[in-house]
Structure 1
Amino acid sequence: MVRFENVGVRYGVGPEVLRDINLHIEPGSFHFLTGASGAGKSSLLKLMYLGLFPSRGSMEVFGKNIGRARRRELPALRRRIGVVFQDFRLLSNLSVFDNVALPLRLAGEDEKRTRNNVSELLDWVGLGSRLADSPDTLSGGEQQRVAIARAVISKPSLLLADEPTGNVDDRIAYRLVRLFEELHRSGTAVVVATHNDALVRRFSHPVLVLTGSVLQTGPTDRPPSATREAIREGTRIAMSTPEDG
């Protein structure tokens, strides 16, 4: 589904943010992505959703070699990817309901089915009473849940979530990961970037530890010290920018 071979990323003329990334995300898999602040997690996710392109190396998404793809082919690939951004990117001129419904409407989904699905999902994330409200009237945690609902409503082939539980309490965080797991069971591949060690330990999914390159550490039923040791033993590339999460 997603394959990187010796991928490097450089912004402008500065040093490489990521170097020699080798990564394979299988269809229907679930991974947590962890790493220190500045390790490049956001850049790695941006590569996966085709918001950024490698400076070198080979990258395939849904079997398409991105280096050889025509620009007009990229929108169709992006439509198969759901993204939860750190800054939410909600449209303030649309209601909560219409923000979540937007991907289905753009895809030409039946309006009655759209209304039913959106209402059910917003009820599930605890926002059933806020359908007509503007996103600007919501708290940060509520906006985050709207962004997550919008990302998952179309049941994408690949879901990428950048710190999706950063503004919610533990109860909501666990509920949101359960939502991701439900999507995962239906066949969606899921990658969740997080700093929340407790969340990673609670759910037994493989972990990708990013230190400028990626090390797959296996199931998360290992103590934090074992994960830290895995990072130390793995290939470490100290290439990052301070602002990249």
Structure 2
Amino acid sequence: MPAQPEGDPAPEDGALPAGAVARASERTLSLYVHVPFCAVRCGYCDFNTYTMEQLGDGVSRDDYHRDAAAEVRFARSVLDAAGAPPRALHSVFFGGGTPTLLPARELANMLGQARQSFGLAPDAEVTVEANPDSVTAETFDVLAEAGVTRVSFGMQSAVPHVLRVLERTHTPANVPRAVGWAKERGLGTSVDLIYGTPGESVADWRTSLEAALEMDSDHVSAYSLIIEDGTKL
């Protein structure tokens, strides 16, 4: 990964540095909620994610939505203490990990806390990342009712042998079905693809790209596979 630009030192008391709120009224405000749970850790992933086996005994997903909601409230208090002007959220993104490993009602509760703490702009985009095998039609009923506007599906490939190398566990046929469920409920959709997997041919890539286009999603993201230090791959 490229080096991040240098910023202001973080104050030891946990407050925001003055530069973080300078001209804040001129900028939009967004919220990223990280859900660090995965059923299987993919061999190429260097994100902050964990399977339950990696976390060990005594760790549960059950309390995560309450902890995350508390962090949202804390973030608002820190901004207030720094003198940042109140601003409604321009966008909210639930990423991971696999957010849809949590019950949809818990994702809705976290979004509700964000709305209560900050408010949502009338045109706010609210996105949830999803694994095609961890959702049902009812998942999208709950998410749409809660105010989610878009679902980003981790497709990666439509070719089974490519998915096996990436250690993706979803069934390719479940991707268009899940996208269809989301679209039926008026949700925007996007699908993510990865190209350059060892053993993937140009024909394999064409198969995946054509499968993604056939779903008629609002957006397709294509990422080249990067082998990160310390990952299994």
Task: Kindly indicate whether structure 1 or structure 2 has the higher relative contact order, using CA contacts under 8 Å at least 6 residues apart.
Answer: 1
What interval of TM-score do these two structures reach, taking the shorter chain for normalisation? 0.3 to 0.5
